[in-house]
Structure formats: C-alpha cells, structure tokens
Amino acid sequence: MSDNADKTSVFQKVGPCLYRYKDGTYYGRFKSGGKEIRCSLRTADRKLAERNLAEKKKQQSQIDPAKSKMTLADLCDVYLQTVQHQKPKTIERKTYIVKRIKENWPGGSRVQVAKIKPTEVNLWLARYNFGPVSRNLHLACIKDILTVAVGDGMIAVSPAANLKKVKADKPIRKTPTWEQFQAIVESIRAQVFNGHDAQESADFVEFIG
C-alpha cells in the first residue's frame, strides 16, 4: 500500500492511514511503537472503517513493546503461577493442559505470543480425539492464558477470543420396562436395612413410577 497510490492501484488512499482495496474493502496502515501496522478493517462502509481504524489504533497503543516478544511457553509458566491458589485437582488439570500446549503447539511453543493466530489454536485442539467436555476445558485454559497476555499488554486482542465452546450431547437415559420397574420396587421392599421404612420407600417409588 504505497502512500503514492493512484486510481489505477489496487489500493487507493482515501484518508489518513485509510486505504480502499479494489473490491471496496477498507484497510488501515499506521505506526505504533515504532512498528508499522497493516490490517484489514473488514468492511466496505467508510464510516465503519474509520471507527474500526480508530479502535485498532487504540488497541495497538496499549501494547507494551518490551513484553510483546514473550513466547507462549513462558506465558504458560506465568499463567500457572497465577492459579496456584485454586483447588489441587484444578491445578493438576491446568498443569496437564499447559504441558500439552508446550509439547504439541503447532510450530512449537517458543512462538512469540504476538504472532499466534486463531488457526493455530484450532489446530492444537484438533490434535486430540476428545469429547466436548475435555475440548471445552482445553479451550477455556488457552483462553485464560491468552487473556493474561491481553491484560499485560503483550497483545491487543486474544486470538482465541472468538472460538466457541461445543455443546455436550444430552445423555440418553433408558426407561425401564414395566416388568423391570416392578422388579426395582420389589427389590426396595426387600431391603430391610436400608435406613428407612422399606415398605414406605417402595410405595413412594411406585407412586412416582
């Protein structure tokens, strides 16, 4: 996107730091912290593009250049330090997920946090053949880790921010046949030492059934 772009160029400068591509989509180009930022503003509407550009500039101004080069592996270590007050089982689970991030992140976990893309998060999750609950726990953990990066000014927006949880399948509960239900009731009547009146308990279950 040259500052000297003319009407024959695929990019046309239409305002300060604002460019329009030949298909009508607007792009931004500006400097922040000594670094040139080029980004799609994801709209063909001029007013919305200007608002999106202003938001992009605001986000970039919040990034600390000294922290933006931290690696994902180092960020994971910082994250684990922040959860040590939680229940032992929770710490154990999150430590296990962090281990998976360090060992199996696409391209390696020494990648700079600022260079992580949403696709990499999805590729990491796709490495495992697990159900909805486990997937959601892994997604929640990487989201929490990247939220730390946003809060500390390493990145402007989390690359996992728009990734959604998957819905767990509703369990299929089989209804007993009438004969099986009668057998359950009779079994309850026979439990003399169940801590309650067996006859009364059986009658109640039979009533509900």
pLDDT in tens, 147-202: 999 988 898 889 999 999 988 767 666 777 777 777 777 777 777 655 556 666 66
Check residue 1 and give its pLDDT.
55
> Which residue range(s) make up the domain with 16?
11-61
- Per-residue pLDDT at 79 exceeds 90: yes
If asked whether residues 78 and 145 sit together in one domain, one would say yes
Check residue 61 and give its pLDDT.
76
Q: Indicate the residue among 42, 61, 80 that finishes a domain.
A: 61
Does 157 fall in a domain? no
Check residue 55 and give its pLDDT.
86
Check residue 195 and give its pLDDT.
54
If asked whether residues 37 and 83 sit together in one domain, one would say no
If asked whether residues 85 and 126 sit together in one domain, one would say yes
Residues 145 and 71 sit within 8 Å (Cβ to Cβ): no
If asked whether residues 93 and 43 sit together in one domain, one would say no
Does 124 fall in a domain? yes
Q: Of 42-46, 92-96, 152-156, 178-182, give the lowest mean pLDDT range.
A: 178-182
If asked whether residues 76 and 28 sit together in one domain, one would say no
Does 1 fall in a domain? no
If asked whether residues 53 and 95 sit together in one domain, one would say no
If asked whether residues 81 and 115 sit together in one domain, one would say yes
If asked whether residues 57 and 81 sit together in one domain, one would say no
Q: Looking at the 3D structure of the chain, how many domains does it have?
A: 3
Residue 19 or residue 31, greater confidence: 19
If asked whether residues 77 and 145 sit together in one domain, one would say yes
Check residue 176 and give its pLDDT.
77
Does 6 fall in a domain? no
- Per-residue pLDDT at 28 exceeds 80: yes
